[in-house]
A = this chain, B = another copy of it.
Amino acid sequence: MEAGAVLRIGELSKRSGVSPELLRAWERRYGLLQPTRSPGGLRLYSLDDLERVRMMRQHLASGLAAAEAAALLSRAAPGEAARVPGASPDEARAELAEALDNFDEPRAQSLLDTQLAALSVDAVLTDVLLPYLSELGERWERGEASVAQEHFASSVLRGRLLGLGRGWGLGLGPLALLACLPGEQHELGLIAFGLAIRARGWRIGYLGSDTPVETVERAARALSTQLIVLSAVTPERVRAAAAELRPVAASHRLALGGRGAAEELADGVGALALTGDPVVEAERVTSSHGPLVS
């Protein structure tokens, strides 16, 4: 007998927010649930069934049709956790941190080789490099990492990421122009973002650190640019450039990235704020590119 068969259909309905009629219809049509029966024939559901119904509702809310939602649940049910093993990204990050802390460039390179061979660029960025960078930032703020370590790690990673970006100006996709705001030296997040949208078919024009706004504007005109992304780690840099940025935002699609790009600041100049993980934001920017075009 089913272990936790404790809910009658009325109770399941209340907890899940789905009418009893509909629950029966789902059972008949898609075999979504297979409740045990009481001696008198009443349906008895388990808590797993409740979870199943909730998943069903989630899928419906996300736009799937009932038949497909149910099919997804049936398929996913048996093999819940079929994850790829491989060296865990956490271990990789820890090893990377150790290598860079000890100024051991070859070892860091070799670790990155391994990771890049096993995973996509996206995955390495998301699971290894970006977490490592924020970790480094935090340690640095707490005074646990020396300036030397921070400089060394940045240089190694910058070279590596720029190497991955080789040829990113090539192709047919829309062009994104990337630069750091005046005074800003931290390029890594920006380069990561560039790699992520490169992987999504965009072309990249990269101007590097500490770039005058007027410079960006001129390059944008020269290159029929679809998107400009400017990055800054501190809000001050954004504020300092705000007046110059407004006209840019008027004539181009402009986004501000990096920890310095608060929502209000970006709104203030008519730009999109990219405050999160570069890979996530890349996904957002590229998929939201749609409506603008139609």
User: Which residues from chain A sit less than 8 Å from chain B, CB to CB?
Assistant: 5-8, 11, 14-18, 38, 44, 47, 54-55, 57-65, 67-69, 71-72, 80-86, 88-89, 103-106, 109-110, 113-114, 116-124, 127, 146-148, 151-152, 154-156, 158-160, 162-174, 179, 185, 198-212, 214-216, 218-219, 222-223, 226, 286-287, 289-291, 293-294
A117 to B119, Cβ gap below 8 A? yes
Closest residue on chain B to residue A18 by CB atoms: B294
Which residues on B sit within 8 Å (CB–CB) of A210?
185
Q: Are A84 and B198 in contact (CB under 8 A)?
A: yes
Smallest Cβ-Cβ distance to A22: which chain B residue:
B294
Q: Are B110 and A64 in contact (CB under 8 A)?
A: no
Contact indicator B61/A172 (Cβ below 8 Å): no
Q: Bound complex: CA of A226 vs CA of B62, how far in Å? A: 9
Residue with the highest number of chain B CB atoms closer than 10 Å, among A47, A64, A160: A160
Flag if B216 contacts A148 (CB, 8 Å): yes
Establish whether residues B152 and A171, one from each chain, have CB atoms under 8 Å apart when the complex forms: no
Please judge, given known A-B contacts A159-B165, A162-B159, whether A85 and B170 are in contact too, CB under 8 Å.
no
Minimum C-beta distance from A127 to chain B (A): 5
Central interface residue in A84, A156, A201, by most chain B CB within 10 Å:
A201
